Chain A
Amino acid sequence: GAGVSQSPSNKVTEKGKDVELRCDPISGHTALYWYRQSLGQGLEFLIYFQGNSAPDKSGLPSDRFSAERTGGSVSTLTIQRTQQEDSAVYLCASSLGGGGYTDTQYFGPGTRLTVL
């Protein structure tokens, strides 16, 4: 079946611009996660959606970052007023969502963001 998909695959933007990154989870998965992968920081958790519960935003690095999930499926990660340190690969993952920490997360191909 179809895996997690993300778009765009690459995004180049100028400092100060806003960007939106999209994630389509695996069909039937109720949990969705965003991570960031950068050279200096490795793989960092950003935000976690589980069904209709309030998202866990504990990993968002600043208030310039926000995410929403519409209709319990597609998610959009928005970065406002981008900075050069936001350059990274943004990875989305989804899981069945039945057990929180017990779930296996399946990852998409990522969006490579470059802020000039």
Chain B
Amino acid sequence: AQKVTQAQTEISVVEKEDVTLDCVYETRDTTYYLFWYKQPPSGELVFLIRRNSFDEQNEISGRYSWNFQKSTSSFNFTITASQVVDSAVYFCALSGTNQGGKLIFGQGTELSVKP
């Protein structure tokens, strides 16, 4: 079965705090991709990152970083020095060789960054 779990429904932090959003996945596919999307209050899903199952290198992009650990089936997302503009719902998603093109999404984590 394909499943993505984002156990944190809501997180609230104060600006400049670091915050980590957790994502755990289940898949029987040997080759798969993991994604993170951001959904700000405007509603549009914005692509942030894609990672394939063979690449376990951590990725850093500005204040954003991603930690992919195949051993624990996790793909966690950290925002350093959070800003109010980071307030949004963040979705982790999975696609695999036996799923065609469909994305399996987690339930999302709503991040609120307060000034």
Known contacts A101-B96, A102-B52; A48 and B102 CB within 8 A of each other: yes
Q: How far is the CA of A68 from the CA of B38 in the complex (A)?
A: 28
Interface residues of A in 9-48 (CB under 8 A from B): 31, 33, 35, 42-43, 45, 48
Neighbouring B residues of A107 by C-beta, 8 Å: 37, 44-47
Residue total for A at the interface (Cβ-Cβ under 8 A): 26
Q: How far is the CA of A59 from the CA of B107 in the complex (A)?
A: 17
Q: With contacts A95-B101, A109-B42, A110-B44 known, is A102 near B33, CB below 8 A?
A: yes
A106-B47 contact, Cβ under 8 Å, with A42-B107, A43-B91, A101-B95: yes
Chain A residues with CB under 8 Å of B105's CB are: 42-43
Contact indicator per residue, chain A 37-69, by CB within 8 Å of chain B (1) or not (0): 000001101001010000010110000000000
B21 to chain A, nearest CB (A): 16
Q: Is B115 an interface residue (CB 8 A)?
A: no
Contact yes or no, A100 B103, CB < 8 A: no
* A108 → chain B closest CB, angstroms: 7
With a cutoff of 8 Å between Cβ atoms, the chain A residues found around residue B100 in the complex are 48, 56, 58, 100-101
Shortest distance between the CB of B39 and any CB in chain A (Å): 9
- Could you list which residues of chain B lie within 8 angstroms of chain A, going by C-beta atoms? 32-33, 35, 37, 42-47, 50, 52, 91, 93, 95-97, 99-108
Interface residues of A (CB under 8 A from B): 31, 33, 35, 42-43, 45, 48, 50, 56, 58-59, 89, 91, 93, 95, 100-110
Beyond contacts A33-B102, A101-B33: 13 other A-B pairs, Cβ-Cβ < 8 A, are A33-B103, A42-B106, A43-B93, A48-B101, A48-B102, A56-B100, A58-B100, A101-B99, A102-B52, A103-B95, A104-B35, A109-B44, A110-B44
